[in-house]
């Protein structure tokens, strides 16, 4: 593909990278066959090839339009299209840069987007509003928002860690607020193995929420705060138990090219599966048949496959495969709230595939997937580490 950049964009370095990525596309359309939104709609403009074509138009005219904004807002950024591409097009990067350009041109945000951008990165504020939201839940018209408020807030155990641990345990924003039992369980797994870990007193959001919504500068400022607050030694590792955060944390060097310590930070990040694989566990749950619903941010974003399944299998669970396991469940960050109709259609497909194999429990590796699947399934939906003793 050849792209003629609009004169107003010619001097922007990020645009040159974006064009190089777009020009790798040979229009074969292999990516459409794995794209959940294309599969759902059959519409070329709701698939990766059509989206790339629309972004090309943005670069040529330096002007956004309704078709492009609609198409990108309906993209899950699941990145299922990347492994399917014979030309190695990194579609996720194209979508992300295009969202930044659109956000520069139009400052319009829906009320819900503004609420999410202001609250989610701050666990204290988030919990307060969540509590208020639950009082008014019966009066909220949006089914998706009502459902998102269905989990009762729990009293979180304070995790202290030690000051000199070489393992840094991140708690996340939504996870800290809504599933604090996951990090508490992880802390216990580490403590019982005498692994000394530290927690960060003022952990910032990893930046993924702002990235998804095109707010590059806000994301970079959250990332910079993390790099400066989390001082790491050469042997330290940073553990993330939410794959949606891990995928962003691992790319801090790309997002913060001017920050000296961003590369060593990114190199130190491990998904919890990559770290726990060196240990043995006993079963902590009576379940026998387990399905692991691998989040897109783990299997496509971090390209981690098979580790969780291997740990669970050798712990004594029967890990059962299910159809279309590479497809997004519809959660996708804030997608389930901002694109509820499409998100629910994707979830229906996922639920049908999961229930067909009759598991005792469904486990996942990201808080967003867990919370979105939970109300729609009759079996428990847990973080996979909760199955380990
Ligand atoms: S990221 Fe996911 S939804 Fe978006 S174009 Fe790629 S496969 Fe489709
Ligand atoms: S598979 Fe790759 S090269 Fe083919 S249309 Fe999709 S992005 Fe372009």
Task: Name the residue with higher pLDDT: 99 or 61.
Answer: 99
Within 8 A by CB and 6+ apart from 24, the residues are 1, 87, 88, 89
Contact status, residue 162 vs residue 197, Cβ threshold 8 Å:
yes
pLDDT at 107: 66
pLDDT at 153: 80
Positive/negative CA dihedral, 282, 284, 288, 294: negative
pLDDT at 177 over 80: yes
Average pLDDT estimate for 181-185: 94
From 49, 54, 98, give the residue whose CB has the most ligand 2 atoms within 8 Å, as the site to mutate.
49
pLDDT at 51: 97
Kindly give the distance from the C-alpha atom of residue 142 to the centroid of ligand 2, in angstroms, as a whole number: 36
Kindly give the distance from the C-alpha atom of residue 268 to the centroid of ligand 2, in angstroms, as a whole number: 32
Kindly give the distance from the C-alpha atom of residue 77 to the centroid of ligand 1, in angstroms, as a whole number: 5
pLDDT tens readout for residues 254-311 = 999 999 999 999 999 999 999 999 999 999 999 999 999 999 999 999 999 999 999 9
CATH for 7-105 is 1.10.1060.10
pLDDT tens readout for residues 240-249 = 999 999 999 9
- Domain residue spans in the chain? 7-105, 289-387
Kindly give the distance from the C-alpha atom of residue 81 to the centroid of ligand 1, in angstroms, as a whole number: 6
Closest residue (by CA) to atom 4 of ligand 1?
A: 75
Rounded Cα distance, 339 and 356, in Å: 26
pLDDT at 86 over 70: yes
Q: 23 falls in which pLDDT band (50, 70, 90)?
A: very high
From 21, 48, 91, 94, give the residue whose CB has the most ligand 2 atoms within 8 Å, as the site to mutate.
48
pLDDT tens readout for residues 30-82 = 999 999 999 999 999 999 999 999 999 988 887 788 899 999 999 999 999 99
Number of the ligand 2 atom closest to the C-alpha atom of 88: 2
Q: What is the 3-state secondary structure (H, E, C) of the chain?
A: CCCCCCHHHCCCHHHHHHHHHHHCCCCCCHHHHHCHHHHHHCCHHHCHHHHHHHHHHHHHHCCCCHHHHHHHHCCCCCCCHHHHCCCCCCHHHHHHHHHHHHHHHCCCCCHHHHHHHHHCCCHHHHHHHHHHHHHCHHHCCCHHHHHHCCCCCCCCCCCCECCCCCEEECCCCHHHHHCHHHHHHHHHHHHHCCCCEEECCCCCCCCHHHHHCCCHHHHHHHHHHHHHHCCCCCCCEEEECCHHHHHHHCCHHHHCCCCCCHHHHHHHEEEHHHHHCCCCCCECCCCCEEEEECCHHHHHHCCCCCHHHHHHHHHCCEECCCCCCCCCCCCCCCHHHHCHHHHHHHHHHHHHHHHHCCCCEEEECCHHHHHHHHHHCCCCEEEHHHHEC
CATH for 289-387 is 3.40.50.1860
Q: Which ligand is nearest to the CA of 93?
A: 1
Average pLDDT estimate for 207-212: 90
The answer, yes or no, to whether any atom of ligand 2 lies below 6 A from the CB of 28, is yes
Mean pLDDT taken over the chain: 91
pLDDT at 106 over 70: no
Kindly give the distance from the C-alpha atom of residue 258 to the centroid of ligand 1, in angstroms, as a whole number: 29
The answer, yes or no, to whether any atom of ligand 1 lies below 6 A from the CB of 36, is yes
Contact status, residue 255 vs residue 207, Cβ threshold 8 Å:
yes
pLDDT tens readout for residues 316-354 = 999 999 999 999 999 998 899 999 999 999 999 999 999
Q: 0.75 cut: is pTM over it?
A: yes
Q: Which ligand is nearest to the CA of 23?
A: 2
pLDDT at 116 over 80: no
Q: Which ligand is nearest to the CA of 83?
A: 2
The answer, yes or no, to whether any atom of ligand 1 lies below 6 A from the CB of 212, is no
Closest residue (by CA) to atom 2 of ligand 2?
A: 85
pLDDT tens readout for residues 27-44 = 999 999 999 999 999 999
pLDDT at 61: 82
pLDDT at 169 over 80: yes
Average pLDDT estimate for 117-144: 80
Closest residue (by CA) to atom 6 of ligand 2?
A: 31
pLDDT at 262: 96
Q: 226 falls in which pLDDT band (50, 70, 90)?
A: very high
Closest residue (by CA) to atom 4 of ligand 2?
A: 28
pLDDT at 109: 76
């Amino acid at each position: 593909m050849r792209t003629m950049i609009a004169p107003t964009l010619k001097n922007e370095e990020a645009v040159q990278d974006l064009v190089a990525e777009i020009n790798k596309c040979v229009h074969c359309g292999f990516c459409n066959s794995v794209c959940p939104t294309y599969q759902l709609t059959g519409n070329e403009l709701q698939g990766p090839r059509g989206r790339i074509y629309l972004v090309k138009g943005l670069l040529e005219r330096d002007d956004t339009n309704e078709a492009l904004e609609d198409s990108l807002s309906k993209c899950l950024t699941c990145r299922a299209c990347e492994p399917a591409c014979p030309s190695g097009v990194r579609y996720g990067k194209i979508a992300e840069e295009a969202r930044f350009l659109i956000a520069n041109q139009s400052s319009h945000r829906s009320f819900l987007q503004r609420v999410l951008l202001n609250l989610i990165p701050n666990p204290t504020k988030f919990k307060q509003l969540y509590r208020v939201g639950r009082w008014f839940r019966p009066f909220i018209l949006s089914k998706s928002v009502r459902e998102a408020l269905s989990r009762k807030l729990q009293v979180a155990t304070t995790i202290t860690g030690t000051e000199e641990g070489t393992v840094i345990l991140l708690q996340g924003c939504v996870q800290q607020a809504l599933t604090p039992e996951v990090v508490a369980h992880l802390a216990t797994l580490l403590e019982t193995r005498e692994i000394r870990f530290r927690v960060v007193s003022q952990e910032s959001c990893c930046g993924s929420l702002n990235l998804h919504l095109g707010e590059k500068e806000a994301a970079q400022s959250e990332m910079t705060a993390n790099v400066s607050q989390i001082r790491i030694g050469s042997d330290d590792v940073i553990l993330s138990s939410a794959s949606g955060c891990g995928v962003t944390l691992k790319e801090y060097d790309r997002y913060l090219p001017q920050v000296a310590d961003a590369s060593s930070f990114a190199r130190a990040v491990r998904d919890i599966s990559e770290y726990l694989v060196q240990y043995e566990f006993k079963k902590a749950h009576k379940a026998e048949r387990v399905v692991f619903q691998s989040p897109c941010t783990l299997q496509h974003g971090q390209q981690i496959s098979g580790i969780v399944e291997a740990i669970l299998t050798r712990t004594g669970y029967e890990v059962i495969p299910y159809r279309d396991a590479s497809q997004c469940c519809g959660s996708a960050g804030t997608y389930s709230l901002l694109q509820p109709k499409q998100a629910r259609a994707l979830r229906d497909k996922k639920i049908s595939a999961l229930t067909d194999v009759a598991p005792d429990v469904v486990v996942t590796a990201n808080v967003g997937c867990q919370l979105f699947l939970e109300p729609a399934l009759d079996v428990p939906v847990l973080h996979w580490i909760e199955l380990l003793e």
